[in-house]
A and B are shown apart, each in its own frame.
Chain A
């Protein structure tokens, strides 16, 4: 990996966002809509349940913010590839001295920046609008958030690998992949709300442990180290597998001439 190459690839994306402000709207608009819808639903439910209001429902606001960290990190990686397809720049990048590591690390940086912008904005708005303070977890928030970021990167690499393998017609996977796992990921409800068979699936998804741990942490003020450890272990496995898949698909793409199909479309 070369720092100057990563810097150049990140710079290309930063230029893109500063040159095209409408892309910042994409980073802000949909997350804001989610926050407003789920936030005011929470307010409505609070008014009608009084003191018996379960904390899990308040956490809906936190869930929106945390899911968005994962989603933006995934998008940072997956859309990065598509930006080059859309601008017909793909062959310029892949015929340049750019290694797989250079490419992936720059997508991680962009994923991190996208997640940071959106989540900070939402977290501040949640305090202002709903008195919901995600920062109550203090420093213990960081490892949970980092785990969401890493899982987002893994999903992004899987999305890109599938798009490269299946061609331009599979572009929609860049947005769809995170939602394949969302029903089992305990984002808006605890894992025990799921039927036993789905609970079994849920235990193999890193972010279900993150959301469970964060829910407990915000409720009791106690960090669930076991959930954090499980999520970190699973994330290490998924990150390695997703990286292996990406490298393998890029090799196949060179053998089958798949990258040139994106240019010919």
Chain B
């Protein structure tokens, strides 16, 4: 059996006395879309930053494509990519210039053709010569996604890709996310506060709370386990400090057995 694309084991991050991530483990399988859920401060962003190599873990290991991220960061990063609603591409460069720069960094072959492909996929090819800073929020998010797809990543990290998008554009982003998984077999780690996103797009969900994994499983497994009608109601219950029994912290597989 092929090793998981991403394997996070006992991951801990401490900033002085603060412990945003306190022993998190999960894995992402090839061609899977895994949702990373949790309220603000649950530790999702810190976990993602550790997977990107921007933050060094205090303890634990991250293996990507079977390689230790701490030792082989550059070769691993070459095969993955990242898109966050909180980052932008330089606003004073044209769309094609931004994509050319990142395409060269990721050593994308036939770069001009690939740029055309990703712009068409995200339906913004007509904006190729536009200054990036003049794009709307939705166009800008799709440009970020173009950058993240340039190198046909085997592992893609999407950090709240539909935040601040109107329903139409958010739907397009979800469609593209599912399409690249189906066509390219891309494995995707997907964080969102939009429960509809998660239910529609993700195969499994890792539910984080106060730096720990509360539950791992499919959306149906989670809802059944916590006896909640929707992910949204569970999210609200957890975020408002609703009682979560110690026995409820487990995986869907464990719950089923």
B165 within 8 A of A: no
Question: Contact: A16 with B92, CB < 8 Å?
Answer: yes
Contact yes or no, A92 B147, CB < 8 A: yes
Do A5 and B105 form a contact, CB below 8 Å, given A16-B92, A257-B49? yes
Does B52 reach chain A (CB closer than 8 Å)?
yes
Within 8 A of B (CB), among A214-265: 251, 254-257, 259-260, 263-264
Within the complex, the shortest CB–CB distance from A254 to chain B, in Å, comes to 4
> Which residues of A (38-95) have their CB < 8 Å from a CB of B?
83-84, 87-92, 94-95
Q: How distant is the Cα of A238 from the Cα of B133 in the complex, in angstroms? A: 39
Contact status A9-B49, CB under 8 Å: no
Chain B residues contacting A92 (CB-CB under 8 Å) are: 82, 87, 89, 102, 147
A87 CA to B52 CA in the complex, in Å? 20
Please tell me if the beta carbons of B100 and A89 are within 8 angstroms of each other in the complex: no
- Cα A99 to Cα B105 in complex, Å, equals 11
From A2, A15, A256, B97 is in contact (CB under 8 Å) with A15
Inter-subunit contact B55/A254 (CB<8 Å)? yes
Q: Does B78 contact A (CB under 8 A)?
A: yes
**Interface pair B88/A87, CB less than 8 Å apart:** yes
Q: Does the CB pair B55–A260 fall under 8 Å? A: yes
**6 further contact pairs, Cβ within 8 A, besides A99-B74, A251-B56:** A4-B104, A16-B93, A88-B88, A92-B82, A94-B54, A254-B55
Identify B89's interface contact among A83, A89, A98, A256, CB under 8 A: A89
Bound CA span A255–B46, Å:
12
Provided the pairs A20-B92, A263-B86 are in contact, do residues A8 and B74 lie with their beta carbons within 8 angstroms? no
Leading 9 A-B pairs by shortest Cβ distance: A8-B104, A95-B52, A87-B90, A97-B77, A88-B88, A254-B56, A12-B101, A97-B78, A8-B105
Question: What's the count of A-B pairs with C-beta under 8 Å?
Answer: 103
Whether A37 sits at the interface, judged by CB under 8 Å, is: no
Task: Report the Cα distance A139→B131, complex, angstroms.
Answer: 43
From 87 to 132 in chain A, residues with beta carbon under 8 angstroms from any chain B beta carbon are: 87-92, 94-99
**A97 contact from B46, B87, B103, B105, Cβ within 8 A:** B105
Q: Which residues of A contact B (CB under 8 A)?
A: 2, 4-5, 7-9, 11-12, 15-16, 19-20, 83-84, 87-92, 94-99, 251, 254-257, 259-260, 263-264
Question: Is B15's CB under 8 angstroms from A95's CB?
Answer: no
Q: Which residues of the other chain, A, contact B25 by a CB distance below 8 angstroms? A: none
CA distance A88 to B87 in the complex (A): 5
Scan residues 44-95 of chain B and give those whose CB is less than 8 A from a CB of chain A: 45-46, 49, 52-56, 74-75, 77-78, 82, 84, 86-94
Q: Is residue B107 contacting chain A, with contact meaning CB distance below 8 A?
A: yes
On whether the beta carbons of B49 and A89 are closer than 8 Å, the reply is: no
Find chain B residues with CB under 8 A from A5 CB: 104-105
Instruction: Name the residue of chain B whose CB is nearest to the CB of A99.
Output: B74
Q: Give bound CA distance, A7 to B74, whole Å.
A: 17
The answer for the CA separation of A253 and B88 in the assembled complex, in Å, is 21
Across the interface, name the chain B residue whose C-beta is closest to A16: B92
Q: What are 14 A-B contacts defined by CB distance under 8 Å? A: A5-B105, A11-B104, A12-B90, A12-B93, A15-B93, A87-B92, A88-B87, A89-B88, A92-B89, A94-B54, A95-B77, A97-B78, A97-B105, A97-B106
Are B77 and A96 touching (Cβ within 8 A)? yes
Q: Is the interface of A mostly helix, strand, loop or mixed?
A: helix
How far apart are A135's CB and chain B's nearest CB, in angstroms? 35
B102 near A96 with CB under 8 A, answer yes
Residues in chain A near residue B104, CB distance under 8 A: 4-5, 7-8, 11
Complex formed: what's the CA distance from A91 to B52 in Å?
Answer: 9
**Closest Cβ–Cβ distance, residue A137 to chain B (whole Å):** 38
Q: Please name the residue on chain A nearest to B20 by beta carbon.
A: A257
C-alpha gap A12/B46 in the complex (Å) = 28
When C-beta atoms are compared, the residue in chain A nearest to B46 turns out to be A257
* Chain A residue, CB-CB nearest to B79: A97
Q: B92–A11 contact, CB under 8 A?
A: no
Q: How far is the CA of A98 from the CA of B91 in the complex (A)?
A: 21
Instruction: Decide: B93 and A256 in contact? CB cutoff 8 A.
Output: no
Q: Collect the chain A residues with CB atoms within 8 Å of residue B106's CB.
A: 96-97
Distance from B28 Cβ to chain A, minimum over Cβ atoms (Å):
17
CA of A94 to CA of B82 in the docked complex: distance in angstroms? 11
Cβ contact within 8 Å between B105 and A263:
no
List of B residues within 8 angstroms of A90 by Cβ: 87
A87 touches B102 (CB 8 A): no
Contact of A19 among B46, B49, B84, B97 (CB under 8 A): B97
Question: Given the complex, which residues of A lie within 8 Å of B74, measured CB to CB?
Answer: 97, 99
Contacting pair B54 A254 (CB below 8 A): yes
Contact across chains for A91 and B90 when beta carbons are under 8 A apart: no
A254 to B91, CA, bound (A): 26
